Structure 1
């Protein structure tokens, strides 16, 4: 078993294979260096891992494309076992959800005491904040891995931690739809307009969530119909007043004619508390505006203040915590720098 450090990205030389896609491959280094290079590749793209060296010469290739908040990656390799340990999590605190779609070969994913077995077409979700193991049963394998912030799925699935390492079959509607959508996207991603990337990434997230909600262990704590009705009313009121910087729990409670404590009880069955849900909706609205060509002449601060934020520094910090990039970096990535003309989308560099 070999463990990799968190690699210096400068050691990885990516190849541009299209305007929106890059590739890392062990074929770019000598045979003696390929195993170490493969470790650096997976650690840079996903999380710090350790793995077994295969009996034959190591082969590994990862192509990757940014898509809104998602990273869409395709893996071809003959490395058959990878593991993320507690000590690695202490050294590498990345908080991501990984959704693995099996394309060729069979795989086993273990996390949280569960074991998922995958055949081509199936997908599974696991989390980088807790230990996991990946085992591939065939000599070579191919898979798609969608990497996204865990916060993207939490509003859609109430008990996400109970659904790791659980197979979503490719034969179900969500599994089949996800694979079809990913195949189409990979074929046409270079024709995707930057301002459409957010909508497409949200669509992929929704399909993943739909597949997870169809699992037997999903949403085990269901709200009553009356509670769900009141939650929907509260969310509708909050959305209608999202731009108001004075929107607060107490103001919502007053408008709904209930106590703040009652509001808190209503949201106990929701993925996040009401205050955090409002915060997420505001950040999502700002994120969409930063990618909107019609907003190219508005500054980051103007967009933030238009959606109820009243402190530019706090907004920038919150945005980075939520999406992993500053608002200006996000805008540059989408192709619309502040108060300027659209530019070509920026694909994050590994090298």
Structure 2
């Protein structure tokens, strides 16, 4: 089993060194710790036949995998995340999943995602190639970004299994048994999601197509002209079929685009790196072309004006650092 720690990294430039280390062993992402110099982190990685198990324990942080990171020519991976300790929130495929201890979320590394914690957190990742996962879960697109609660169906049993395997990989499992154990794990993942979600053949097809549309929307979210008509034209779909694809989620495309733009604006407003930019600059960079419209929509979404939201975020950030 491979093991890495920030103890071995220099204090100056520790964040950059950790990002480089993680990119070399896992996926290219950008970690932003609350304390960029003094944060502590540990990463252990093991293999179980065709499955990779990784355990990350780290002080308060956020991590983003953006379009820029995805263009690194590495194989696409599905990663099942178990919130083993602490709590977090992940934004992925247009969904927001609030995770408490024992909860799961499925992540497609071929699509952007943003993960944020408020305190010390331990996450265990089960990483699988899409071709293998589809043998057990034919349409994983249905589930990406959705929270699988620890009390739902077999999720609790799956959580105990994942935690146990993360400790025993490389120590307690004979190499000639790893393949079989990995298959049992994938079967348990399949049963947990089957028991936890309503699955139908028709909705599975729509969810797969919906993720293709979401990928296009995320790539063009900053374009002020982005709308149902331009998406349909770009993807060679009829507007009617495009609306039917989104009907499985109960959210209209226009509402989805607006919500995602507001979420990205709010995220930048919480990021101290953007303190030198005005609220209007942030809003316009995400496709808004009216400050009044942005303010009104932001208040409807978050229950407060953008200026109040940013002020509260700055106060919270100062409290965490102190």
TM-score by length of 1: 0.54
Q: Give the drift of 1:22.
A: 2.1
Q: Does 1:84 align with 2:84?
A: no
**From 116, 129, 142, the counterpart of 1:135:** 116
Q: Does 1:102 align with 2:83?
A: yes
Tell me if the contact between 2:124 and 2:166 (Cα under 8 Å) persists in the aligned partners. Answer: no
| Count of residues paired in the alignment | 202
Tell me if the contact between 1:97 and 1:126 (Cα under 8 Å) persists in the aligned partners. Answer: yes
Q: Counterparts of 2:200 and 2:137 in 1: how far apart (Å)?
A: 7
1:168 is aligned to: 148
* 5+ residue gaps, structure 1: 1-20, 224-351
**From 83, 94, 119, the counterpart of 1:113:** 94
Deviations along 1:224-258, one digit per CA (max 9) or x if unpaired, are: xxxxxxxxxxxxxxxxxxxxxxxxxxxxxxxxxxx
Structure 2 vs 1, CA of residues 222 and 36 (structure 1 numbering), >3 Å: closer, same or farther? closer
Q: How does 1:31-110 map to 2 (within 5 A)?
A: 31-55=11-35, 57-110=38-91
Q: Give the drift of 1:222.
A: 7.8
Tell me if the contact between 1:106 and 1:119 (Cα under 8 Å) persists in the aligned partners. Answer: yes
Tell me if the contact between 2:51 and 2:128 (Cα under 8 Å) persists in the aligned partners. Answer: yes
Q: How does 1:244-323 map to 2 (within 5 A)?
A: none
Structure 2 vs 1, CA of residues 179 and 69 (structure 1 numbering), >3 Å: closer, same or farther? same
RMSD of Structure 2 on Structure 1 (CA): 2.0
Q: Give the drift of 1:187.
A: 4.2
Q: Give the drift of 1:176.
A: 1.2
Tell me if the contact between 1:22 and 1:64 (Cα under 8 Å) persists in the aligned partners. Answer: yes
Tell me if the contact between 2:102 and 2:159 (Cα under 8 Å) persists in the aligned partners. Answer: yes
Structure 2 vs 1, CA of residues 187 and 158 (structure 1 numbering), >3 Å: closer, same or farther? closer
**From 157, 164, 184, the counterpart of 1:184:** 164
1:126 is aligned to: 107
SS in 2 for 1:170: coil
Structure 2 vs 1, CA of residues 98 and 209 (structure 1 numbering), >3 Å: closer, same or farther? same
Deviations along 1:56-77, one digit per CA (max 9) or x if unpaired, are: 6121110111110111111111
1:194 is aligned to: 175
Tell me if the contact between 2:152 and 2:196 (Cα under 8 Å) persists in the aligned partners. Answer: no
Tell me if the contact between 1:163 and 1:217 (Cα under 8 Å) persists in the aligned partners. Answer: no
Structure 2 vs 1, CA of residues 192 and 55 (structure 1 numbering), >3 Å: closer, same or farther? closer
Q: Counterparts of 2:107 and 2:139 in 1: how far apart (Å)?
A: 13
Q: Give the drift of 1:217.
A: 5.1
SS in 1 for 2:135: coil
**From 1, 26, 45, the counterpart of 2:6:** 26
1:281 is aligned to: none
2:188 is aligned to: 207
